[in-house]
Amino acid sequence: MRDATPTLAFVFREWRFLLFGALVMFWTSPGQTYLISLFADEIRSDFGLGHGDLGSIYTGATLVSAAILWPAGRLVDKLPLTNFVWWVCAAMALGATAFSLVSGPLSLFFGILVVRFLGQGMMSHIAITAMARRYVAERGRAIAIAGFGFPIAEGMLPPLITIGLTLTHWQNIWIALGIAVAATLLPSIPFLLKRTAGQDGQGAEGLVRPDPNRRQWTRSEMVRDKRFFMIAPLVMTMSAIFTGLIFHQKFIIGTAKGWDFLWWSICFVSFAACQVAGSFIAGWLVDRVSARRIAPYVLMPFAVSVALLGLGENQSWAVIILGAMGMSAGATNPTYSSLWAELYGTEHLGAIRAAGAVLGVFASALGPVVVGGALDEGVSIITLTSISVLIIFAASALAAVAVRKA
């Protein structure tokens, strides 16, 4: 492995491939919870669904998406990147457009399944796996920079969609999303994916052979490694707790805590800013000290934020709570993706990282159900957050033991 390049020089040299990653991460948004939830009221109204009905459909579609991602994720190891990502992005453009045609609970289930599988699942998996494969010395920063596309989308799309909902029917917005995906991604992919001499990783095409002195694990070997099961709770914890809390945020913030929900929404600017900062800091640390060294600590800001959510009485705490959540949310992607490469090699990284992605998707499906059930049973916010903090610390401690065995 050659020496790492200074960050600014790295960005100038590799801007095309980094832009590819950021664009793909941006357009995972039609399959992400934050965007789909913007249409929840309109969908429930049009199809006569209750909150629980929509939640069940959403959870079911997400679980099926996770099941499909397990075998599909290994295709990143088998197919040329340019062709594969083009067809997946084309499918997302068609899937988003087709979402405008849903007419009832059954078609809604399949509509959510398609955009969740392609967006949250395959597109994010392809983008991050490609960064981890094409770079070694700058792997952490490459993943972090590509990941910037997601918080940019979180900042841009919700206000645009909110305005759009006041001007037109919600299904027309999905047509616009499909057109936007096709117009921005499909023409640019062949240009942005050209390989450069500065890409010191093997890539999906195997243009540079893996290090013969390192063991290259298969996924079947990995799932027999006890370290994988010790790290799995760390990978699942934030997806489950964060998605559960955010899915029920209107009740938790507006009803249970009595805070102004508009103020809470405004404070998501803090979340987005700290998410970018957390991603970059984690990427820099991965390149300097390795993902194994920092993995046990990436959820510590999240633990602080969840504790403050339970204990905080003044809504001014929202800025710090969401900022700390964003810090961990940003740090997890470059850390976890680099960790799989460090522990198990890159030859089968698509299949291996898909296993980690399935854990996250599965956890994000269970989070809203578990948190919602606890709230329905009258569990207090302080109890809910206290249990969550204990889970975070337990998962982090278990991961610390696992990486020491590496």
The pLDDT of residue 35: 87
224 occurs within a structural domain? yes
Shared domain for 180 and 239, answered yes or no, is no
Tell me the C-alpha distance between 130 and 196, whole Å: 14
Of 165, 180, 205, the domain-final residue: 205
Of 166, 184, 205, the domain-final residue: 205
Predicted TM-score (pTM) of the model is: 0.76
The pLDDT of residue 306: 97
Shared domain for 223 and 302, answered yes or no, is yes
The pLDDT of residue 212: 58
Q: Nearest-CA neighbor of 219 among 10, 72, 22, 19? A: 72
273 occurs within a structural domain? yes
Shared domain for 306 and 272, answered yes or no, is yes
The pLDDT of residue 210: 53
Helices (H), 27-169: 33-36, 40-47, 51-72, 75-78, 81-99, 105-115, 124-134, 139-147, 149-167
Other CB atoms closer than 10 Å to residue 224's CB: what's the count?
Answer: 11
Task: Decide: 62 and 68 in contact? Cβ < 8 Å.
Answer: no
> For residue 105, what are the domain limits?
1-205
210 occurs within a structural domain? no
Which amino acid, 241? Answer: I
323 occurs within a structural domain? yes
Shared domain for 46 and 116, answered yes or no, is yes
Total domains, the chain:
2
Q: Could you list the mean pLDDT of each consecutive 10-residue stretch along the chain, which spans 406 residues?
A: 67 87 94 85 85 81 89 82 92 96 94 93 88 79 86 83 89 96 93 68 47 74 90 93 84 86 83 89 88 94 96 91 94 88 81 83 84 85 96 96 80
The pLDDT of residue 208: 45
Shared domain for 116 and 73, answered yes or no, is yes
The pLDDT of residue 152: 87
- Round the CA-based radius of gyration of the chain to a whole number and report it: 20
211 occurs within a structural domain? no
The pLDDT of residue 207: 39
Shared domain for 227 and 178, answered yes or no, is no
Of 205, 228, 255, the domain-final residue: 205
141 occurs within a structural domain? yes
CATH number, domain containing residue 259: 1.20.1250.20
320 occurs within a structural domain? yes
Shared domain for 52 and 188, answered yes or no, is yes
Shared domain for 80 and 115, answered yes or no, is yes
Other CB atoms closer than 10 Å to residue 107's CB: what's the count?
Answer: 14
Shared domain for 175 and 273, answered yes or no, is no
Shared domain for 62 and 137, answered yes or no, is yes
Q: Nearest-CA neighbor of 354 among 96, 85, 148, 77? A: 77
Shared domain for 45 and 106, answered yes or no, is yes
Tell me the C-alpha distance between 399 and 359, whole Å: 15
Shared domain for 272 and 128, answered yes or no, is no
212 occurs within a structural domain? no
Extract the tokens encoding 56: 């069940």
Tell me the C-alpha distance between 342 and 142, whole Å: 15
Task: Decide: 305 and 242 in contact? Cβ < 8 Å.
Answer: no
